[in-house]
Amino acid sequence: MYSKLESKYDKIFQELKRINRFMYDNPELGLREFKALNILTEFLKENNFKIETKFCNIETAFLATYNSTKKGPNIAILAEYDALPDIGHGCGHNLLGTTSIGAGVLLKGFVNEYGGTISIIGTPAEETFGTKVQMAKNEVFKDIDLAMIVHPTSGNYHLRSTSSQAMEALEFKFLGKTSHAAGSPHLGINALDGVINLFNGINALRQQILESDRVHGIIKNGGEAANIIPDLSIAHFYVRSKNRKDLLSLLKKVENCAYGAALSSGTTLEISNYETSFLNLITNKTLMDLYEKQLLSLGIEKMKDSQSSGSTDAGDVSYVCPTIHPY
C-alpha cells in the first residue's frame, strides 16, 4: 500500500506545491479566506470529492467528502488556511491546509480498499474566531469517528500531539463619568482607574495561581486626552489553564479582581467575551501511538512532545470526537 501511496504522492506533489505557494503569496485573514477556499476545493473537486461550501453557515468553511462503496469509519482531516495581520502566513496554515487536502486525496486509496468515508473539513479563522468551536457545538462531529490535523513547526523534530490550554477571552469594560481633570476632578468617575485597579489586582493574584495558569492582557481604551477624566476604559485579557475545571476556578478569581476594581473606583463594570473561548486539547492516545508508529516506520528517527502553552480551537473538537493535533 505504501508504494502505491508513494507513486500517487509523486503525481500530486507539484500541484500541492503550487497550491501551498499560492496561499503563502496570497495571505487572507480569518473569515476572508476566499482565494484559499477556492484553490483547496478546486483540487478536491478534481479528485472526485463532493464539495459543500458555506459549511455550518460559515462563508469560508467547507466540507469535502469522498465515500467508498464499502462501509467503514468516517475519518475527518481538518484544514486551516487563515493568516495573521501584517505578518501573513507566519503560523504556516498554508502548509497545514495543503497537507490536509493532500492527505485526504492519498487516503482515497485506503478507503477504496478497506471501506469508509473521508471528510475534509475546512475550518476558517483558527487565529481569531475559532470556527471549530461553532462546528463542535453544531454537532458537525457527531458521525465522525476520528479527527486529525497536523500543524507545521519550525524545529527539526516531529512533535507528538499532547495538550493545549483551555482559554477564555474576556473584555472588561469600566464605565465612569467624564469631567475636566483640572477644573472639576471631584465631579468625575475615572474609568481608567477601574482598569488600572484590575491590572494591580490580577498582578497580586499571580502569586496564588497554578504554574500552568496564564493571565495576560492589554488596555484597549484608556481615555482620550490627559485633561479629560475618561468615562470609558476597556481591557482585554486571555485567561488560560490546563483544563476546563482549573480555568473555571481561575476565571472566578480574575472576575473578582474586576468587581473589586469597579467597587474601589466607583465605576460600573461589564464583562463579556471578545473572541471565542477554547477548550483544552485532549489527545487520543491510541490514535497518537498509531500515528507515531507509522512515522517511525517511514524513517522518522524520533519524536518529541509538543509544549502545551498555547490554545487551539481543535480542543473543542477533542471533547466530542477522538482527535490528534501533532506538529
List contacts with Zn ion (CB under 5 A). 91
b (16+ CB within 10 A) / e for 282-321: bbbeebbeebbeebeeeeeeebeebebeebbbbbbbbebb
Task: Kindly tell me which of 91 and 181 has the beta carbon lying closer to Zn ion.
Answer: 91
State in angstroms the smallest separation of the CB of 302 from Zn ion: 23
Task: Kindly tell me which of 80 and 246 has the beta carbon lying closer to Zn ion.
Answer: 80
Phi, psi of 115, deg, nearest 5? 95, 165
State in angstroms the smallest separation of the CB of 96 from Zn ion: 7
State in angstroms the smallest separation of the CB of 294 from Zn ion: 23
Dist. CA 273–CA 290, nearest whole Å: 38
Task: Kindly tell me which of 126 and 246 has the beta carbon lying closer to Zn ion.
Answer: 126
**Is-contact 102 79, C-beta < 8 A?**
no
State in angstroms the smallest separation of the CB of 128 from Zn ion: 11
Report the DSSP beta bridge partners of residue 160: 305
**Is-contact 218 170, C-beta < 8 A?**
no
Residue closest to Zn ion (Cβ): 91
CA distances from 294 to 2, 132, 257, 287, 299 (A): 11, 27, 49, 11, 9
State in angstroms the smallest separation of the CB of 257 from Zn ion: 30
Task: Kindly tell me which of 97 and 230 has the beta carbon lying closer to Zn ion.
Answer: 97
Residue with cell 490535523: 149
Task: Kindly tell me which of 91 and 159 has the beta carbon lying closer to Zn ion.
Answer: 91
**Is-contact 61 51, C-beta < 8 A?**
no
